[in-house]
Structure 1
């Protein structure tokens, strides 16, 4: 076996099918999309060279900037809420429920495996105003208030998005962060408690610094997933009312497949990729500075 794995030709032959499949599915479409940014048209009417016209159009496109602003807003708020809710649940698992947390973890994780469309339909019904008020509006009317068209206004629709996304994803982040918390040595926790660190002081000065790597991983994952949000928007509001809840991903999809502007759609996809890459780099760099500063303070 060692002689086989040591032969470079054999390794190449064994890996060739997987590499070929990966190249055709992943690499080729990436370069194809990059190439389309310099063309205008679609598969029906053909493609004509456009030079840098798509990039010029991108800079002056108000719909692009509105969609990008909404994507930033959505990613920032959703990331904070998702990671915070997941971290609070993880702390509950480790320090309050302990060994009896298995059932609670299972219940909290259940929404993660539900289809996004089903979850969106559930929340549409919960916040419905017609044909009959949903549970939320029913409670408001019970206390003498007036029903609210939650999905008919951009501000309230955004609030529904946040509630839905946190409910659906906090179980995943709780499990992810729980795995990082259980790796903290028990003797470190006990030593801190003996020194008088309890409650919030223990979490602030011991637990959070020691769980910083897994918090960083959860934050990066949350930012990238929320910045590229698509399915929940389609299922809940389809970008409405108007374009108030349209992220960059949905604008790219409509431009490419509804209006058949493949060249400009590819330009939007490239912009989305670049922005997501830059955000990830900024998060990593800021976290490194925080870790370095924390180490310097300890010394």
Structure 2
């Protein structure tokens, strides 16, 4: 292996095709999109140089700021929920269910593979208020609370989206973190138990520090996925009511493809890219210290 990696020709042959595909599929479209940020127009009407006009427009666009706020709020709430629920599930698999957890893992993971549209239709029925109450409003009625119009306000629609995406994704993060917990040597856990560390003390002082690398990976996956939320919002609320649940991705899509302004749409995409990159760098910055040290 060392001989192969030391041969520049062999490295070029092995990596060249992958780098070529990556350049054609990823880098060139990214640079092309970056060039659009300095223009206005579309492929039908043509493009005109606009300088920094798109950036000035973005700064003064209240709808873009609203979309940015929704995106950040959604990312914080859903990412925290995904990682927390995933970690609790992984602890359940490892310490409670153990070898009998295969069936539970499969059942909890199942929503991950369901089509987004099907899940959205399910949650529309669950939280419906007309023509008949869904299960959520039926449950509220049973405890004496008046049925709520969940999709009639931005706050209600936001929490329905959060509930749907947590239900869909917690199985994935449970399996991801579970795989990391399996790497903790059983000898270390057994030694800690013999020293009297059980329950929460075992998790707090041993399992949690040793699982920090996989937790970091889960946080990065989750944050970058939630910042780019699109399909679940489009299928469930279409950004409504009004534009209360419109994320940056949906605002970008409508700007570029519905309104035909590729330049401004690319500027919104650049904002989202910078946001994802900045948050990822911050996560690695705060996680740089050795997780095994207390």
TM-score normalised by the shorter chain: which range applies? over 0.9
Worse-matched range after superposition: 146-155 or 103-112: 146-155
2:54 paired with 1:54? yes
Give the total of aligned pairs: 294
- CA deviation after TM superposition for structure 1 residue 21, in Å: 3.5
Aligned to 1:36: 36
Tell me if 1:218 matches 2:251.
Answer: no
Residue 63 of structure 1 corresponds to 63
**Greater mean alpha carbon deviation, residues 117-126 or residues 132-141:** 132-141
Structure 1 residue 114, shift from structure 2 partner? 0.6
Structure 1 residues 278 and 100, CA gap change in structure 2 (3 angstroms): same
* Greater shift in the superposed pair: 153-162 or 232-241: 153-162
| Match in the other structure for 1:179 | 179
**C-alpha displacement at 1:58, in angstroms?**
1.2
Aligned to 1:126: 126
Residues 274-283 or 136-145, more deviating: 136-145
Instruction: Evaluate the alpha carbon distance shift between residue 79 and residue 5 of structure 1 in structure 2; reply closer, same or farther with a 3 A threshold.
Output: closer
How far is the alpha carbon of 1:65 from its aligned partner? 1.2
**Separation in 2 of the partners of 1:88 and 1:13?**
45
Q: Which runs of 5+ in 1 are unaligned?
A: none
Match status 1:228 vs 2:228: yes
**Alignment of structure 1 residues 192-211 onto 2, 5 Å:** 192-211=192-211
1-structure distance, mates of 2:187, 2:209: 16
Deviation at 1:3, TM superposition (A): 10
2:84 equivalent in structure 1:
84
What is the CA–CA distance in structure 1 between the aligned matches of 2:4 and 2:159, rounded to whole Å? Answer: 58
Structure 2 unaligned segments of length 5 or more: list them: none
Q: Which has the higher mean CA deviation after the structures are superposed, 57-66 or 11-20? A: 11-20
- How far apart in 2 are the matches of 1:205 and 1:13? 47
Separation of aligned partners in 2, 1:154 and 1:230: 17
1:155 maps to 155
Per the TM alignment, residue 162 of structure 1 is displaced from its structure 2 partner at its CA by 1.3
Alpha-carbon RMSD across the aligned residues, in angstroms, is 2.1
Range with bigger deviation, 8-17 or 27-36: 8-17
Instruction: Give me the TM-score of the superposition, normalised by structure 2.
Output: 0.94
CA–CA separation in structure 2 for the residues paired with 1:3 and 1:81:
47
Q: Secondary structure at the match of 2:41?
A: strand
What residue in structure 2 maps to residue 164 of structure 1? 164
Per-residue Cα deviation, 1:191-240 (whole angstroms, up to 9, x for no partner):
11112111111111111000000001001100000011000000000110
Give the Cα–Cα distance (whole angstroms) in 2 for the partners of residues 204 and 12 of structure 1: 47
